[in-house]
Structures are given as structure tokens and as C-alpha cells.
Structure 1
Amino acid sequence: MKILTALVCAAGALALVPAAQAQTAATGQSAEPEKEAVAPEELESMLVSGATVVTADNQPLGTITSVDGETVVMDLSEYTERPISFQKEHFTLNAEGKLASVFTSKQITEGVG
């Protein structure tokens, strides 16, 4: 199970990252991020403003509000009033072909809490 760390970005948005990745950012030591096997072109075409996303356990997560480079900003009104930033590597396609976060609803709740 991944443990999430919440980081507040300069623009006031909240970013959820795996704890190991946050530690890497703080210490400068590189860590190998976990990757899902999804066709990059297919996933990239779905990461657009207005797209809805589910959690890894297939619960509603929120809506993408913007994509800038590797950063995906989402409105997670069920979890928090603040916009949340994810990295593109935090998304995959689930068994039904839906755009999904690699995090469960419990992990998201704990990360923004």
C-alpha cells in the first residue's frame, strides 16, 4: 500500500505524492516510482480538462481542471475545497477502461485530511 504525503505548492494547491517520492524530493535521493503498464498515448489522450476520474477502488474521485506538463490539477470537491495536483504517473486505466488514480479513496481521504 502506498502512503501519501500532502505537499502545499506555491500557488496554494495541494499535491498528493507517495511518501517515498516526497522524501526523495526533500533529500535529493532518487527513488524508482511505481509505474502501471498502460499505453502512454491512450492515457495521455484521456488526461484532459473536464475528464472525470475514479479511484483505484473505483469510487468517484473528481474532475481534471487543467493539465500542465506532467502536472494534473483536479477538483476533488468530495474530499477537499482546494485544488489537488497529481503527476501524470499517478493515473492509469482501470479494467473498465476508465481513467483512474493509482490511489484508493481511503488513501486520498488520508492524504488531504
Structure 2
Amino acid sequence: MSRALIIALVSAAVLMVGGIALMGLPGAVYGTLADPVVTALRGLPEPVLTGDRAWPMAILLTLAVPPVIPLTVFVQRRLRPGMAWWGVLLLILATMYLSTVAIMFAFSFGL
């Protein structure tokens, strides 16, 4: 395993375990940033993350989004080796954001 992949695995584990210890705070941050996009895609009059729906969605996002980090690093190392560190970081942030939007969009139909 490469050094970058090990760092990605450790950071994902820290985000997941630390996020549960913080009662879903990282997921709340992910959700707050993605909420306007999901609301616009669904055409809803009010945001998705309101009231009793916010905390379970934050816990779900805390557990579902960080595994994207090592997956992104693995795919990036296979498809485009030698990419600058800041490019990899931007790619990770973009995939985290898109996965958050996808998860919130999928689960907002049951709300």
C-alpha cells in the first residue's frame, strides 16, 4: 500500500470514529453545505435538514461520506499517478461533496 492510501484510510477512520464521538458534527457540516443543492434539485420549499430529520441525516453522513476518501485516493493513484497534492485534495473534497449530495438526495425521498 502506498503512503497516501494509508493516510487516507487513517483520516477516514478518524472522521468516522471522531464524528460518532462528536454526535454527528462532521455530518452536520457536510449536510449544511449540500442542503441548498439538494433542496434545489428536489424543488422543495424548505430545506431538507430541518427539525427531527437533521440529526439522523448527520449521523448517516458521518458514517457514509468518509469512506470516499481512500476510494478516491486509490482510484486517483491508478488513473493519474503523479498528481500534485493539492489536486488530490481538491479531488477528495469534490467527491465528498458529490457523495453527500447523492446520499441526501436519495434519502430525502423518504422524509
TM exceeding 0.5: no
Q: Select the structure of larger CA radius of gyration.
A: 2
Q: Hey, which of these two has a bigger chunk of strand by percent?
A: 1
TM-score normalised by structure 1 residue count: 0.31
Choose between structure 1 and 2 for higher RCO, CA contacts under 8 A separated by at least 6 residues. 2
Q: Hey, which of these two has a bigger chunk of helix by percent?
A: 2
